[in-house]
Copies of this chain bind each other. A is one copy, B any other.
Amino acid sequence: MFQLDVRSRKPIYEQLVDKIKELIISGILTPDEQLPSVRVLSGQLTVNPNTIQRAYRELEAQGYLYSIKGKGNFVSAIEHMPSNDKLQELKKEIQTLIAEAIYLGLTKEDLHLLFERANQKTKGEH
């Protein structure tokens, strides 16, 4: 499914969260699609089940997943996402990072390229 970097300073559960988010955002995982069970994914990635659980819980809290007891974890429909607050946060964060990158020498061309690539990474238009 994907790779984890045990060396990274970023906790494994957080890496998992990010990767799954990417799959959802890119449209590879579609709304109401079922995710692999904690046990299966735990086996595939040779990661402690608790860690997988933790990641799923986090994604649920952020609105990307919903879980049904006894059945599994599923991708949320876009309508069910918290979006607004989160979006504000994201915008602020992006702004800060861009400012830092420009300070370190990022050119306008680089920035344009960045925007285009980010655009391609998303499934659709809103």
Contacts and interface: CB of A to CB of B under 8 A. Distances in A.
A28 interface: no
Contact of A115 (B9, B74, B98, B103): B98
Contact of A95 (B78, B83, B95, B114): B114
Nearest to A66: B7
Nearest to A68: B6
B87 A85 contact: no
Q: Interface size class for chain A?
A: 35 or more
Nearest to A63: B104
A98 B105 contact: no
B115 A111 contact: yes
Contact of A104 (B18, B61, B90, B119): B90
Interface in A28-56: none
Contacts of A103: 24-25, 78, 122-124
Given A26-B99, A87-B106, 7 more contacts: A7-B74, A87-B104, A90-B104, A91-B101, A91-B106, A98-B119, A102-B126
The 4 closest A-B CB pairs, nearest first, are A98-B118, A99-B121, A25-B103, A90-B101
